[in-house]
């Protein structure tokens, strides 16, 4: 069964929603002030304390520094999802297992997956992450086999997630904007419920 990650959680109401509906991963955006989903270290700590321990927590970052990765480790996140640029040295020194995000803009962006050392998972996102736009899933058809967890993100909704799973067969699907309330204040319970249901019922 394909696993589900709900990303961009911002407040206790979002956590209550997640705890009730039980996805496999919960994503929290940190150290990226350009995003309206970005939260402080203190808020992250409060939300993690509320989160069901059976749900894996993921700190979502963009080009994090070693100091920021240390803070994520101290908060005891299960994983850190890294977008943007990152040096091999920072990757090597991360104490938290890494999910490396790749913005798919063509076949050139899909390099040898096993070259990503110290990386437990790879997340394939649209060229503009967080935009709610999808990319051409057929680009992933020729991916080499790998033991890493492969996440599919970018423009997924309750309406297209089953088709995406049937086409790509990822380890997990990731959604943020596709399950948000219209005012972007948090997650829409019914959208999250339907997304998880459709993802888990897909074949």
Tell me which residues are annotated as active site: 7, 125
Residue 172, both tokens: 């997990």
d(CA 40, CA 73): 15
> Rounded to an integer, what is the distance from CA 84 to the centroid of its chain?
14
Rounded to whole angstroms, how far apart are CA atoms 26 and 99? 13
**Strand stretches in 39-158, DSSP E:** 56-62, 79-83, 98-103, 119-125, 149-152
Give the single-character DSSP code of 39: B
Residue 3 near residue 153 (C-beta atoms within 8 A): no
For residue 156, list its beta bridge partners.
none
Cα 54 from chain centre: 17
Distance (Å, rounded) from C-alpha 92 to C-alpha 100?
13
Q: Is 14 helix (H, G, I), strand (E, B) or coil?
A: helix
């Amino acid at each position: 069964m394909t696993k589900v990650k709900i990303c961009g959680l911002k407040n206790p109401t979002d956590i209550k929603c997640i705890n009730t509906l039980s996805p496999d991963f919960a994503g929290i955006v940190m150290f990226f002030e350009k995003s309206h989903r970005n939260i402080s270290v203190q808020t992250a700590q409060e939300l993690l304390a509320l989160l069901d321990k059976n749900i894996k927590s993921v700190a979502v970052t963009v080009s994090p520094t070693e100091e920021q990765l240390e803070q994520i480790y101290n908060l005891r996140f299960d994983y850190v999802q890294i977008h943007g640029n990152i040096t091999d040295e920072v990757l090597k020194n991360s104490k938290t297992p890494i999910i490396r995000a790749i913005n798919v803009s063509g076949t050139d962006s899909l390099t040898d997956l096993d070259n990503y050392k110290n990386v437990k998972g790879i997340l394939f996102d649209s060229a503009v992450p967080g935009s709610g736009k999808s990319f051409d899933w057929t680009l992933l058809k020729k991916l080499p086999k790998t033991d890493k967890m492969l996440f599919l993100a970018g423009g997924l909704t309750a309406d297209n997630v089953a088709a995406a799973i049937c086409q790509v067969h990822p380890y997990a699907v990731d959604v943020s904007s596709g399950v948000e309330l219209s005012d972007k204040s948090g997650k829409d319970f019914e959208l999250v419920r339907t997304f998880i249901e459709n993802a888990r019922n897909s074949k």
